[in-house]
Amino acid sequence: MKIAIIGGGPAGFAAAITLAKQNNKVTMLEKNSDVLKKLLLTGNGKCNYFNNTQNITKYHSNSNIDNLIKKENLDKVINFWNELGIIPIVKNGYFYPFSETSSSIKSALVNKAYDLGVDIKCNEEVIDILLNGKQLLVITKSYQELYDKVIVATGSVCYPKTGSTGFGYDLAKKFNIDLVDINPSLVQLNTNLGIEKLWKGIRTHVKVKHLENDQLIKEEEGEIQLTDYGISGICIFNLSRNISIGLKNNQKETIEINFVPWVLSDLQSFLEERNVYLPNRNITQLCDAFLNYKLLYAICNKLNIDPNKNWNDLSSTDKKLFCQSLRAMKVDIVGTKGFDNAQVCSGGIALSELDEKFAAKKIDNLQFCGEVLDIDGDCGGYNLTIAILTGILAGEAR
Ligand SMILES: Cc1cc2nc3c(=O)[nH]c(=O)nc-3n(C[C@H](O)[C@H](O)[C@H](O)COP(=O)(O)OP(=O)(O)OC[C@H]3O[C@@H](n4cnc5c(N)ncnc54)[C@H](O)[C@@H]3O)c2cc1C
């Protein structure tokens, strides 16, 4: 079969490699001057491509994806990487190539595709696809060609500077294929506390809760990054999906931060006891060993408490407020850093419009794979797993 893959991202490569193994004639059309631009940025340039912890709670879709996220399929992903010769290093369950550079993953994908005879054409932006009997006419800015099958692997609309600017969504709309509402996910959150400039640059281990209209939605633990616009870090990213959707629907979105998750007892009793065996310390000195001083100043500034005051000289109200801020600081979320900065999008092409190999039910010989689909994952290699798995499955279709 003569097949075109639109988009040279990880999903496109997984589909191309799978198809070329079955002796199909595969052409990959990529609009950038090189392939896999987004992949190079993943995992801070190290490419976190898989995770040891695999269960359905790590993946999200409007459709039921229990049948997709199953051992048999995840084994296909692991085999795919093994066949490419990737040697992993696993840190806290997160898989990276042992070289710890994403360019190793890129060259493994590109070399395998070349080995199998995939024709990779860069600087070829597909601008339209037309129906032509059972075939599809693919139109780029510079040429037109008929194909027996087309697989659309053009990604989402997040991080558009890497090339993903929503072509797949536009195509779906043109063919009357339903989309699930698209929102930024795994994204930084904007806050409006007034102390952001003071806490900027701090990274600290916290427990965080997402509250929607004051109801608990999800909890996470990990490193938070406090920035001049708000909050970031993996634990925040993993809460951002629901927050992004909630904000769009005008819900009240709040993050509650516990800056002292290791204090298991009542915090005020803990500080009172500490004040006995560390007497005559001011608040800064009392908290010095466990709280970044910039964070302490920011919290004191917000509460109008002098950080140089002795603990004993604080009013009982101030002590209570101080403990509350450390234990459960409520931060209203006023926005996200949007599609430009989001690692993935939630939503996309509705799975109800596709068969189990992601072929469009309404249009013959048109398939989709990767982030363009209504499937997204948490931080930790789950999104590349989706890209590779859906690419393999699309490529397996007869
Ligand atoms: C900063 C950052 C860090 C990330 N880190 C991780 C991580 O560590 N682990 C993880 O699992 N996930 C990570 N992700 C998410 C992951 O990169 C994506 O989920 C994945 O790249 C999606 O693969 P894809 O092939 O579907 O789409 P993409 O990688 O977006 O590839 C789509 C390709 O299609 C091309 N294209 C688009 N339109 C056209 C057109 N009309 N014609 C021709 N070509 C076109 C684009 O130029 C692009 O090359 C990260 C994302 C970002 C932005």
- The reply to whether ligand 1 has any atom less than 6 angstroms from the CB of 325 is no
Average pLDDT over residues 91-95: 97
Report how far residue 31's alpha carbon sits from residue 36's, in angstroms, rounded to the nearest whole number: 11
Report how far residue 378's alpha carbon sits from residue 380's, in angstroms, rounded to the nearest whole number: 6
The mean pLDDT of the chain is 97
Predicted local confidence at residue 246, as pLDDT: 98
The residues facing 212 across adjacent strands are: 215, 253
Predicted local confidence at residue 104, as pLDDT: 98
Q: How confident is the model at residue 68 (pLDDT cuts 50, 70, 90)?
A: very high
Predicted local confidence at residue 152, as pLDDT: 98
CB 261 within 8 A of CB 205: yes
Report how far residue 133's alpha carbon sits from residue 277's, in angstroms, rounded to the nearest whole number: 84
- Whether residue 259 is predicted with pLDDT greater than 90 in this model: the reply is yes
The H-or-E segment that residue 386 falls in is helix 382-396
- State which ligand 1 atom lies nearest to the alpha carbon of 369: 26
- The reply to whether ligand 1 has any atom less than 6 angstroms from the CB of 37 is yes
Nearest CA to ligand 1 atom 45: 7
pLDDT per residue over 212-247, tens digit each? 999 999 999 999 999 999 999 999 999 999 999 999
Report how far residue 15's alpha carbon sits from residue 386's, in angstroms, rounded to the nearest whole number: 12
Predicted local confidence at residue 398, as pLDDT: 81
Q: Report the amino acid identity of residue 65.
A: I
- Whether residue 36 is predicted with pLDDT greater than 90 in this model: the reply is yes
10 Cα: distance to centroid of ligand 1 (angstroms): 7
- Whether residue 338 is predicted with pLDDT greater than 90 in this model: the reply is yes
Average pLDDT over residues 364-370: 98
pLDDT per residue over 266-320, tens digit each? 999 999 999 999 988 999 999 999 999 999 999 999 999 999 999 999 999 999 9
- The reply to whether ligand 1 has any atom less than 6 angstroms from the CB of 166 is no
Predicted local confidence at residue 248, as pLDDT: 97
Report how far residue 361's alpha carbon sits from residue 212's, in angstroms, rounded to the nearest whole number: 37
39 Cα: distance to centroid of ligand 1 (angstroms): 6
- The reply to whether ligand 1 has any atom less than 6 angstroms from the CB of 259 is no
Q: How many secondary structure helices (H) and strands (E) does the chain include? A: 13, 21
Mutate to test the pocket of ligand 1, among 30, 32, 37, 38 (most ligand atoms within 8 A of CB): 38
Structural domains of the chain, with CATH: 2-183+346-396 (3.50.50.60), 188-336 (no CATH)
Q: How confident is the model at residue 385 (pLDDT cuts 50, 70, 90)?
A: very high
Q: How many CA atoms lie within 13 A of 25 on its CB side?
A: 5
Predicted local confidence at residue 357, as pLDDT: 97
Percent of the chain with pLDDT over 90: 98
Average pLDDT over residues 9-22: 98
42 Cα: distance to centroid of ligand 1 (angstroms): 9
- The reply to whether ligand 1 has any atom less than 6 angstroms from the CB of 381 is yes
Mutate to test the pocket of ligand 1, among 343, 382, 389 (most ligand atoms within 8 A of CB): 343
Average pLDDT over residues 156-167: 97
- State which ligand 1 atom lies nearest to the alpha carbon of 140: 42
pTM of the complete model: 0.96
Predicted local confidence at residue 377, as pLDDT: 98
DSSP string, 126-164: EEEEEEETTEEEEEESS-EEEESEEEE----SSSGGGT-
